[in-house]
């Protein structure tokens, strides 16, 4: 019997069930319908000839747009047993057909929304993998997403890259796509700093755990310590109690010491940095360093396509892009002069500019060419379900 050969996931207490049920996760079927709904809502619904596929879908597949109306609560998307997946695929085919003439000859406004819709869909492609990982990890018999072989990480010496004081320019410029939160490009004063050539590894994070890092309030911000104490946290969310194995899309396997440590919350990343005698970089420091790295490494992105686990960069490269989303110490707030787009689509980024922190770089699950050195991802400081790690600065 297959089940007898697989370790049963530890049962959770009622409190842990609430803490670990991850109300942020959505089913893959929901992601497919929601990204389709985005095109229907923002590009097709204003077309007089367009026939809405199903009037109930706006309630079911609106994510967070208050201007569009009421919606299924995020934490209850998993309860949507209907529509069936086949209906969601029919919905997509219906929307694809109606979109074809717009894709062939868009107006200027349509072209802007079409490009936004494609980048939005790429964001959800990455979220599908992160959510699938969480779902599989909570199965009583945790199952791998992929049977592909694991790629071992090569040890890379840690060294510091030095930057002098400078009035730096950060933010998107040029004609390529960016989200509104990357604008406008502006100046930020940087005092001299050093940033690590690589991300923090599993072996390094294990030293923090072995040194009692999760039991010493001196390393933690106040809210982080409250989370550690209340939820009795003592390791990254996908590590086993003995800190010998972790669960990722390849299933449960031995922790690779040289692999970048992943699925850290902001509080864990920040506490580790303090324990290590360093700090998290600001997003401006990160962006300046990543831009230089892109010029020196020859390519901003280390890997050419998504992998199912983070892999350390080849020695000699700095891999600012495409390994893990890297926590910065910067709160996610508007750049000076930021303006959200008019209309419902203006809710895309702007309204989330409080109580979250900026992450940079993209991760191994990010579709190729989706991220940029100016790209600002953001998550609340207590979440660790996204593929996030850290790079030290001082």
Which residues would be at the binding site for Fe ion (CB under 5 A)?
63
Q: Which is nearer to Fe ion, 257 or 367 (CB)?
A: 367
Give me the residues paired with residue 247 across strands: 252
Q: Which is nearer to Fe ion, 63 or 377 (CB)?
A: 63
Residue nearest to Fe ion (CB): 63
DSSP-derived pairing of the beta strands 325-331 and 388-389: parallel
In the complex, what is the shortest distance from the CB of residue 127 to Fe ion, in angstroms, rounded to a whole number?
A: 8
In the complex, what is the shortest distance from the CB of residue 145 to Fe ion, in angstroms, rounded to a whole number?
A: 22
CB 107 within 8 A of CB 98: no
In the complex, what is the shortest distance from the CB of residue 131 to Fe ion, in angstroms, rounded to a whole number?
A: 12
In the complex, what is the shortest distance from the CB of residue 362 to Fe ion, in angstroms, rounded to a whole number?
A: 17
User: Which tokens belong to 72?
Assistant: 């299924």
CA separation, residue 364 to residues 63, 165, 217, 270 (Å): 25, 32, 32, 22
Measured distance CA(359)–CA(352) in Å, rounded? 14
Q: Which is nearer to Fe ion, 63 or 366 (CB)?
A: 63
**Count of other CB atoms within 10 angstroms of residue 381:** 20
* Maximum Cα interatomic distance, the chain, rounded to a whole number of Å: 66
Please tell me what DSSP assigns to residue 46. Answer: T
Beta-carbon contacts of 95 under 8 Å, excluding residues fewer than 6 positions away, are: 36, 39, 40, 44, 53
**Count of other CB atoms within 10 angstroms of residue 180:** 19
Q: Which is nearer to Fe ion, 63 or 153 (CB)?
A: 63
In the complex, what is the shortest distance from the CB of residue 67 to Fe ion, in angstroms, rounded to a whole number?
A: 14
Evaluate the omega torsion of the peptide bond into residue 302 and state whether it is cis, within 30 degrees of 0. Answer: no
Closest alpha carbon to 110 in 198, 27, 44:
44
Q: Which is nearer to Fe ion, 63 or 188 (CB)?
A: 63
In the complex, what is the shortest distance from the CB of residue 68 to Fe ion, in angstroms, rounded to a whole number?
A: 12
CA separation, residue 76 to residues 69, 139, 233 (Å): 17, 18, 25
Q: Which is nearer to Fe ion, 63 or 262 (CB)?
A: 63
In the complex, what is the shortest distance from the CB of residue 124 to Fe ion, in angstroms, rounded to a whole number?
A: 6
Q: Which is nearer to Fe ion, 126 or 256 (CB)?
A: 126
């Amino acid at each position: 019997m297959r089940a007898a050969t697989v370790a049963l996931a530890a049962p959770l207490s009622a409190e842990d069930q609430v803490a670990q049920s991850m109300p942020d996760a959505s089913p893959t079927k929901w992601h497919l319908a929601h990204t389709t709904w985005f095109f229907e809502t923002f590009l097709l619904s204003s077309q007089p000839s367009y026939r809405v596929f199903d009037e109930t879908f706006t309630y079911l597949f609106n994510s967070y747009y208050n201007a569009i109306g009421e919606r299924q609560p995020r934490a209850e998307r998993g309860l949507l047993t209907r529509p069936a997946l086949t209906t969601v695929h029919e919905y997509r085919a219906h929307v694809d057909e109606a979109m074809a003439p717009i894709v062939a000859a868009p107006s200027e406004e349509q072209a802007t929304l079409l490009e936004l819709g494609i980048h939005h869909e790429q964001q959800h492609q990455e979220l599908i993998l992160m959510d699938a990982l969480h779902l599989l990890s909570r199965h009583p018999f945790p199952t791998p997403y992929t049977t592909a072989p694991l790629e071992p990480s090569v040890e890379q010496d840690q060294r510091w890259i030095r930057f002098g004081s400078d009035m730096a320019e950060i933010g998107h410029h040029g004609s390529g796509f960016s989200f509104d939160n990357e604008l406008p490009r502006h100046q930020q004063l940087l005092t001299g700093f050093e940033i690590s050539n690589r991300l923090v590894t599993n072996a390094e994070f294990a030293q923090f755990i072995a040194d009692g890092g999760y039991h010493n309030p001196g390393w933690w911000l106040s809210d982080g310590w409250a989370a550690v104490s209340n939820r009795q946290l003592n390791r990254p969310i996908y590590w086993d109690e003995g800190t010998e194995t972790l669960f990722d899309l390849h299933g449960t396997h031995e922790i690779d010491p040289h692999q970048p440590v992943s699925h850290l919350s902001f509080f864990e990343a920040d506490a580790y940095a303090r324990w290590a005698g360093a700090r998290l970089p600001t997003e401006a420091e990160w962006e300046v360093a990543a831009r230089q790295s892109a010029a020196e490494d020859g390519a901003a992105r280390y890997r050419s396509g998504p992998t199912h686990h983070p892999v350390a960069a080849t020695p000699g490269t700095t891999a600012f892009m495409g390994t893990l989303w890297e926590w910065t110490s910067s709160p996610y707030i508007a750049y000076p002069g930021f303006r959200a787009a008019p209309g419902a689509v203006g809710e895309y980024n702007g309204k989330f500019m409080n109580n979250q922190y900026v992450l940079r770089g993209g991760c191994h699950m990010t579709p190729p060419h989706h991220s940029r050195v100016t790209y600002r991802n953001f998550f609340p400081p207590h979440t660790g379900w996204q593929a996030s790690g850290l790079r030290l600065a001082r």
